[in-house]
Structure 1
């Protein structure tokens, strides 16, 4: 069988879909992932066959690209996420459409959808044959009818490992700070990032700053004696006592899979929804420095870090979340269901 996966406009969606795509390929099926050009290198780096499509915001052009691809490589199953475009392709091909999504915020309507429906001769958005939800049930704001839960399996770019990456430091906690794939988040923090690093170092913590390649040269001397640069987050996370990040789904779930307490500083509504869910469960705290303009953001975040590190309840709840994730069906379980659904 042929499985066509279509990822949205972020690296996180590529990491999210990769485990299911890999499971399908390991089961003997052909796979192909379509992504927009800026995230193509990410798919290539983690070994997923990928082809470029226009940015998800260009819905009509994206549909044209998928229709053209399908003429040469016709899938038996189409797996999509946030966009309705993959469903339109599946309806055109008369093959099952599978929605693969992190169900923690409602799906947004697409302004370009009505003309696309008219073009494809449809009266409404195509129904999915299966809805795969990689959000742990305990984090959902409400039950999702018909959702097929699937275990989140961390997937990241890799590099040559060194012992410090997969071993815990002796006698002191390890705190990892990351802005995901966005180096500008680190640049924008300026002196506040240095203040945060200094405050954590004074507590005796070892500080790691995960950032895109080249960040070590840009930030290394500014942040003092800390490790700065690209890290294989799935390898390093289990060695950490705390993760500080912006609220990206991939980062948050990698920490959750490793049982690590988290401090989340969300900057948009999507990240705030993730922060609320993790904080509500008890394994994280949410800090929005912008709500405390008279205080230094670095000091505000550092104070919350000290509270998390000093209160074992955060680690206990983080481990409880890890157990729930581990009990969910694996991507291989879901592939078996897809095979049955598609008649493979």
Structure 2
């Protein structure tokens, strides 16, 4: 059978779907992953066959509407959720014609879409095939879905729909202790990182003599957007006498090395590094958050957007993290929060509890029979 996977337009969304895609492939099925042109190296670099369905990257959809007019990013929570949903939906609409064309010759039996991969339900409805929604992080996307339905009103009308179709199967990766009480019913799956690898150095595999702190802005960080954030964090944490490691794309790492001699930085696979760390300091990115949870490492989370506040606060409420809004992340407060996370054992204890909870969830290969059953139901 044929299974089409549709992530978002960032590396983390790709990496989130890769483990299930590999499991389906290893079970003997054909797979294909469709995303933006600039995501093809991330897709194919993980060993998954990929096809580009739009030449635009995510910033085109974040900053411009369908007519090319400039958009302003809202900063309040009430507006930001629907705004995020609308630009994800805009990306879906842009790629939908190419997906329909591809499906005329490579017709999938089932579509798997990420949390806000709105092209997946639209294509599935168009083809009359099952649709599976797989979460790529611990966030809930109710507000985003509402915004997406507004943006996709023309596409939904064309299909005779007034709202987004519900998935035939919803797969979540959030450990039960962090799941919101109003979350819709879903099958739980264990998080397995699917990120790009590189040749490793021995120091990456084990703890050093000093406490190790990972500082990162995720896989899509750029010098223009993230250099100052990371540089300032490193400088704030350095007085604690810890080993600081900064996983970052090479374009960003080069600038960090120039400004912060001696700091280890570059494309360091977070799934390899995280288990050797005593603390992860980051921007609240979904892949970074869940990889840290999986490794049982306390986190200092400085959300880069207000839509990340709720899932970050749930981890803090559980006792496995501290959260600092960007406006409160002064040098003194960052250093104080890091020292607390490193010195109070309860944070590590609670982080390890969540890691153990994640480890008890079904692995991606255990989901394959469910997908096979859904994909095969229209063939009999």
Give the alignment's TM-score, normalised by structure 1.
0.92
Match of 2:194 among 138, 150, 155: 155
1:313 aligns with 2:349: no
Asked whether the 8 Å contact 2:231–2:260 carries over to 1, the reply is no
After superposing the two structures, state which structure 1 stretch, 305-314 or 130-139, moved more. 130-139
Match of 1:174 among 206, 209, 212: 212
Q: Distance in 1 between matches of 2:156 and 2:323?
A: 40
Which residue in the other structure is 2:7 paired with?
A: 7
1:198 aligns with 2:231: no
Q: 1:211 to 1:39 in 2, by over 3 A?
A: same
Q: 2:250 aligns to what SS in structure 1? A: coil
Which residue in the other structure is 1:106 paired with?
A: 141
Q: 1:315 to 1:149 in 2, by over 3 A?
A: same
Tell me the matched-pair count: 336
Q: Distance in 2 between matches of 1:190 and 1:158?
A: 22
What's the CA shift for 1:21?
A: 0.3
Q: 1:207 aligns to what SS in structure 2? A: strand
Asked whether the 8 Å contact 2:6–2:119 carries over to 1, the reply is no
Match of 1:331 among 364, 375, 380: 364
Q: Distance in 1 between matches of 2:91 and 2:231?
A: 38
Question: Structure 1, residues 77-112: CA drift from partner, whole Å, max 9, x if none?
Answer: 111121332112112212111111245223322123
1:92 aligns with 2:126: yes
Which residue in the other structure is 2:335 paired with?
A: 302
Quote the RMSD (CA, aligned, Å).
1.8
Q: Distance in 2 between matches of 1:188 and 1:166?
A: 28
Asked whether the 8 Å contact 1:216–1:228 carries over to 2, the reply is yes
Give the alignment's TM-score, normalised by structure 2.
0.84
1:277 aligns with 2:314: yes
Which residue in the other structure is 2:291 paired with?
A: 254
Q: 1:53 to 1:323 in 2, by over 3 A?
A: same
Structure number with the higher helix fraction is 2
Unaligned ranges ≥5, structure 2: 57-87
What's the CA shift for 1:123?
A: 4.3
Q: Distance in 2 between matches of 1:124 and 1:175?
A: 45
Unaligned ranges ≥5, structure 1: none
Q: Distance in 1 between matches of 2:97 and 2:129?
A: 18
Which residue in the other structure is 2:156 paired with?
A: 117
